Structure 1
Amino acid sequence: MNTHTQIAVIFDMDGVIVDSNPLITATWKAFFATHGIELSDDQLNHYVFGRMGKDTLRLVFGEDLTEPQIAAHLKKVEEGVWEKYQQQGVIVPGFKAFVEKLLADGIKIAIATSSPSQNVKVVMEMAGTTSLFTTITDASQIQHSKPHPEIYLKTADKLGVDVTHCVVFEDSFSGIQSAKSAGMHVIGVTTTHTPAELAPLTAATVPDFTSISVAQIKAIAQQLETATAK
């Protein structure tokens, strides 16, 4: 690869920037319980992570939910998640410093999340990175939930970077599938699943952003054989 080829790093948000999946799980669990529905952790993993809220609701309640019902349910869930973010949300270690290194090296950055824009705003403030991200694709801008590749294709288009030069940080199976279907390289963040679960699906796995370097990102973007933090 030409050394001047533009590279981009795209971050999912929940479970990648903020270790929020336990908070999201607890919120959805409590919400479904108020409707007399008990879901196992495996079911929640399948129905919730990487998906837009409206798709989670349809998967659990069925396809005949009306738009007003969906809106009312989502409002309750989003208020619960927002509250938990602010009380208990923890930013994944090393995130801001890593983003600053990418920018210093001329690498483009973006966020691609199935969460609503107000949640993104809260997390960016928590991380101290509000001014660093100018490209954000959230739930309001997409029609199809992950594992559909739409969100990543749209984000690469906004960045003006070829999909084959994009490296994505993801924590969920649906997110990894979404990025790979878009033709991108994926690094698995092991907040939600174990390294053993993610390693076969990704170019590398990391526990957080203190154990990955810009050089490793470049190597992955160039499809070089690397022994990154697996």
Structure 2
Amino acid sequence: MTIPALRAIIFDFNGVIADDEPIHFLAFQQALAEDGLALTKEEYYGIYLGMDERTCAGALLEATRGQHDPARVQWIAERKAALFASLTETRKPPLFPRVVEFVMRASARYRLAIASGGRRQQIEFALHGTPIEKAFAVLVSAEDAAIGKPDPAIYHLALARLNEAPPRPIPAIQATECLVIEDSLAGIQSARSAKMKVVALATTYPPDQLAAAHLVLPSLEHVSLDSLESLFKD
């Protein structure tokens, strides 16, 4: 039996599946303001987007005040999560157009995972009741990875869990057989450091800022699986 060159697709979530990056920014901005810190849209999108709450808060504290304060970082992260929950309580973050169709097609051919700096509850809430709620064999969230993006740990963990999830793939899936779909600069760096191919979606950044990815697309609309497999051909 011939083993296909592409065997798994690992999705980032915010900005790839769910159209919720602006809501995350507003929640972070308010949480930081309550702690006396300012965060502009330009700073968030230019530096911090793609990081999980702890990594973002910690980096911002060190950049602005030269502080390493785990307790304060934890407070900011928890407050941001509470604000995000409040902002989405009556209106669930929408999924991007055609994402459901793409994921359904991909799930028939590959093993799928989510590897996100978002919280598990936020991801499960956004997926609940959708046709792709059960499409992913693995969900790795901020709670699972000790270090967030741009470190590759979250993608290493997603691959390890894909190989553990029943039915176990034989032979085990390798990093070079995985495709990551991302929207952030930190996410692209994370996936490439994990030795995985990366498709970047220009849903958050303009295409010219995503050149580090192997392929840049405007969205998942009208994307064929065969075109993605071509990235794995020598």
TM-score by length of 2: 0.85
Please tell me whether residue 15 in structure 1 is matched to residue 19 in structure 2: no
- Aligned residue pair count: 219
Q: Provide the aligned C-alpha RMSD in A.
A: 1.9
Distance change (3 Å), C-alpha of 1:4 and 1:191: closer
Change (3 A) 1:88 1:123: closer
Q: Residue type of the partner of 2:68?
A: D
**Greater fraction of residues in helix:** 1
2:176 corresponding residue in structure 1: 164
Of 205, 211, 222, which residue of structure 1 is paired with 2:222? 211
Which residue number in structure 1 is paired with residue 49 of structure 2? 49
Deviation digits for residues 185-221 of structure 1, max 9, x if unmatched? Answer: 11111111011221x212222222213111112212x
AA aligned opposite 1:18: A
Instruction: For 1:33-112, list aligned pairs within 5 A.
Output: 33-62=33-62, 63-67=67-71, 69-86=72-89, 87=91, 89-105=93-109, 107-112=110-115
Task: Report SS of the residue matched to 1:79.
Answer: helix
Secondary structure of 2:113's aligned partner: strand
* Structure 1 CA distance for aligned equivalents of residues 194 and 53 of structure 2: 22
Query: Identity, % of aligned pairs?
Result: 23
Q: Give unmatched runs, 5+ long, in structure 1.
A: 225-230
Match in the other structure for 1:185 = 197
- Single out whichever of 187-196 and 200-209 deviates more from structure 2: 200-209
- For residues 68-98 of structure 1, give each alpha carbon's deviation from its aligned partner in whole angstroms, at most 9, with x where no partner exists: x433322221122223345262211111111
Note the residue ranges of structure 2 that are not aligned, 5 or more in a row.
Answer: 164-172
Which amino acid counterpart does residue 186 of structure 1 have in structure 2? V
Q: Could you tell me which residue of structure 1 aligns to residue 209 of structure 2?
A: 197
Aligned to 2:141: 138
CA distance in 1: counterparts of 2:42 and 2:176, whole angstroms: 32
Separation in structure 1 between the aligned mates of residue 188 and residue 130 of structure 2, nearest angstrom: 23
